[in-house]
Structure 1
Amino acid sequence: MNAPVDVDHKARAWSLPLDRLDVSDPQLYYDDVWPPYFERLRREDPVHFTPESPYGPYWAVTKYRDIVQVEVNHKAFSSSDDVGGVMINDAPKGLERTSFIRMDPPEHDDQRKEVSSTVNPITLAKMESLIRERTNMVLDSLPRGEPFNWVERVSIELTSMMLATLFDYPIEDKARLIRWSDTFICDINAPDAPVRSEEARFAEQMRFAEHMNELWEERARKPKSFDVISIMAHGDATSKMTLRQRMGILILFLVGGNDTTRNSMSGGLLGLSRFPGQFQKLRQNPELVTSAVPEIVRWQTPVIHMRRTALEDAEIGGKQIKAGDKVVIWYISGNRDETVIDRPDELIVDRKRPREHMSFGFGIHRCLGNRLAELQLRILWEEILRRDLKIELLDRPVYAWSNFLHAIRNLPVRISA
């Protein structure tokens, strides 16, 4: 099944006055009509000032090299909640959930270093057999010859089990972790949002924090273990955190461990279904999984944007950015930049340099869990190929209402009997 072609949106994207072109509208991603808007910006105005949006004025940085320039210059472009945070909508005052993704050095460096052992190569090697065992269990349980939602039966199931492992949380209660994650990252204006205000979201975050804090205190009294909570409860830079600080860092691991992997698991199947020749090439050459996985992560781009705030006057792509300006870097556009990536709209399983994507970010904020995400995806595709599953996409995907997460809610499929 090919990607939807919306002639009206293509025409609109190229006919709008530039000062009215606003890529922050969640409807663009919900309807999956975003590509031509970014194509025009990359071509005509790659560092684009949007004077009016529901989130206030902002700069949209849409080309690969300009995005990298912003990412690596953390001294000029801040991630701190003190100046607005990492999302296009400002962090709500008094309701912040600060963690190292929302910090600048040196605080960022101390926290990140403390928890990096949870996803280092030694830890991942120990996890591999468990991930494969669970992947086999999920794939073997899927129905044959009847429709089902791949997102629910595979993507959510596998990532929720991984979250339970990271937190050493009861596996039978893993659905609670997914509900919390969806609540904390949703657009409160989405039709299906589980909360309708920032205050309601914060109240749920506090319930989560108080619940997880019981585990934190319990593990602080025991010898240090492998899980995220135990590592932080014993860490020099994290053990004395306040409840609010603990909430922020635990939410970061919860959301980060869920959404990137979950939406790449769904996006990978979608992409390979839209490019059946590539799917066939992967079936004939299973060793291409190692290049197919980062290509899937690029093609899907699970995180649509990140936001920075200028701490000083700076120049990007010939445009003058003033101190205090909101600068939004659009990963979903950088990963389609035809001046850097050959045939960027296609999913190519044997792409020459598949890791040269920006889905994991750059610089000090590069995704801490990128190796774990790739490990889970590699195992999933190895086991699909080993079984030679014939998976048919039955209809278009249903996306989340969000300008932050490129999230698939429903992917109807059928596996041949």
Structure 2
Amino acid sequence: MSALPTVDVYDPVRYESGIPHDDFRVLRAQAPVFRHPDHERPDGLWAVTRHADVMRVSRSPELFSSSRCTAILAEMTEEQHTQQRLMMLNMDPPEHSRLRSLVNRGFTPKVVGRMAERLQDACDTIVDSALAVGTGDFIDLCAADLPLIVIAELMGVPIEDRHKLFDWSNRLASATDGRMDQNGDAAVAVLEAYAYANDLGAAKRACPADDIVSRLIAKDDQGEELSELEFDLFFLLLMFAGNETTRNAIAGGMQAMIDHPDQWERLRENPGLAPHAADEIVRWVSPVNGFRRTATRDVELGGQLIRENDKVVIFYASANFDESVFEDPYTFDIGRSPNPHLGFGGGGPHFCLGRHLAMLEVELMYRTLAARVRRVEPLRPPNRLRSNFVNGVTSMPVRLIPA
């Protein structure tokens, strides 16, 4: 008997207790491309849940546009669309290709490699400070500061200002949870962060230094450069995407370790598993639940005819547990290899720009925690965002027992 009438993977309330795996399992088995209700649209949306189909949509921007109605799940006014299309996340080639080629300069393997020692020092300081405190919110103790330090370093933000980034990012995330943004605070956060980025870019243009921001806003070999507006919008995107997702991976990873203590002991006994553990944490947590695309013409996908301008949502949180790709997908296995998860996207033009840096952050944090912490004891169940976009933890009270 079909369970489809009761399936709902779009209601944000369904994510308050975690990813709705049972419903995703039903969709992958019975209707991998499913006409799903959407209270904002009478024609609903197409929920794409299998690994192969998510990859096909991701790698076909000529068929599935990020720009036409943006990559954001919720509906917008045309004025909001016009503003959002200026951000790289909501562009299609060739506009996206030009912008990405310019910002790529800040994320080369050489740049990431140079940051490794700085990141390890930061992890040592964060974990030592957390152990000195002993009890508290794991997000504040361990998960929040590392991505903030990275973004501050990347963007030339004074380290004492990094908590402004934390505040703005939290307020932006609140926009995905209707309980938390009753007064439009996210919109105010955007304006504050935008003004800060504008001042930062102006300062670097006036007095370039040997840092990534100065390289981002300088002309490349072809004489191309980021405009003032492009830099400001990229700052906003990096502040949110680079902070929110990595923080939630670190926090969600610890919840997975608490729920699977055998894997925590396995990591403590074999710290060389840290790179594999980081991959498995990103798969398991799936920090970004999914993105939206819009069909540019009639196209067949998964046996369904999708019409031009139909709303299509690709669910990474489902694809990352696809039984046809992952053996025992509901087993948290820090030695899983290969691990072709889509936690950084399904390839194509929007494959995550900072994936190497994000993986390094998660790997080093867990390598450091495993070396210095014997056990993490939960004091209360974690609180999660009520969001169908960000799989996020808002608080996670714990006690850290030193090694």
TM-score by length of 1: 0.89
Q: 2:170 aligns with which of 175, 182, 185?
A: 182
Q: 2:131, 2:401 within 8 Å by CA — same for their partners in 1?
A: no
Q: 1:47 to 1:170 in 2, by over 3 A?
A: same
Deviations 1:348-377 (A, max 9, x none): 0111202x0001011111000000001111
Partner of 2:183: 196
8 Å CA contact retained: 1:85, 1:307: yes
For the residue of structure 2 that corresponds to 1:414, the secondary structure is: strand
1:416 is aligned to 2:393: no
Q: Which residue of 2 aligns with 1:99?
A: 87
Give the equivalent residue in structure 2 for 1:66: 53
Structure 2 CA distance for partners of 1:181 and 1:212, relative to 1, 3 Å: same
Relative to structure 1, the CA distance from residue 143 to residue 92 in structure 2 (aligned partners, 3 Å threshold; closer, same or farther) is farther
Quick check: 1:305–1:330 contact (8 Å CA) kept in 2?
yes
- Between 1:391-400 and 1:356-365, the stretch displaced more is 391-400
Tell me, in whole angstroms, the C-alpha distance in 2 between the residues paired with 1:33 and 1:303: 11
Q: Distance in 2 between matches of 1:17 and 1:383?
A: 44
Matched residues in 2 for 1:208 and 1:87: separation?
A: 19
- In 1, the alpha carbon distance for the partners of 2:326 and 2:154 equals 34
Deviation at residue 152 of structure 1 after TM alignment: 1.4
Shift of 1:114: 0.8
Query: In the aligned structure 1, how far is the partner of 2:295 from the partner of 2:216?
Result: 31
- Once the 2 structures are TM-superposed, how far is the Cα of residue 143 of structure 1 from its aligned partner? 3.9
> Any stretches of 5+ residues in structure 1 without a counterpart?
1-13
Structure 2 counterpart of 1:366, one-letter code: F
Is the partner of 2:374 in helix, strand or coil? Answer: coil
Please give the per-residue CA displacement for 1:67-117, whole angstroms capped at 9, x wherever unaligned. 11111111100001xx21012113443232322221111111111111112
Residues 393, 68 of structure 1: alpha-carbon distance in 2 compared, 3 angstrom cutoff: same
Give the equivalent residue in structure 1 for 2:319.
Answer: 334
What does residue 263 of structure 1 align with?
Answer: 248
Work out whether residues 275 and 346 of structure 1, in 8 Å CA contact, stay in contact via their aligned partners in 2: no
Q: Answer yes or no: is 1:298 the counterpart of 2:283.
A: yes
Q: For structure 2, which runs of at least 5 residues remain unmatched after alignment?
A: none
Give the equivalent residue in structure 1 for 2:207. 222
- Give the 3 Å change call, closer, same or farther, for CA 352–226 of structure 1 in structure 2: same
* CA RMSD, 1 decimal: 2.1
> What's the TM-score once normalised by structure 2's chain length?
0.92
Corresponding position of 1:22 = 8
Q: Deviations over 1:126-165 (max 9, x none)?
A: 1111111111111111146853110111111222222211
Q: Is the 8 A contact 1:295 1:351 kept in 2?
A: yes
Q: How many residues align?
A: 395
How far is the alpha carbon of 1:203 from its aligned partner? 4.4
- Corresponding residue for 1:173? 161
Change over 3 Å in CA distance of 1:64–1:223 after alignment to 2:
same
Deviation at 1:181, TM superposition (A): 1.5
Q: Do structure 1's residue 35 and structure 2's residue 37 form an aligned pair?
A: no
Partner of 1:152: 140
Match of 1:366, SS state, is coil
Which of 47, 50, 62 aligns to 1:75? It is 62
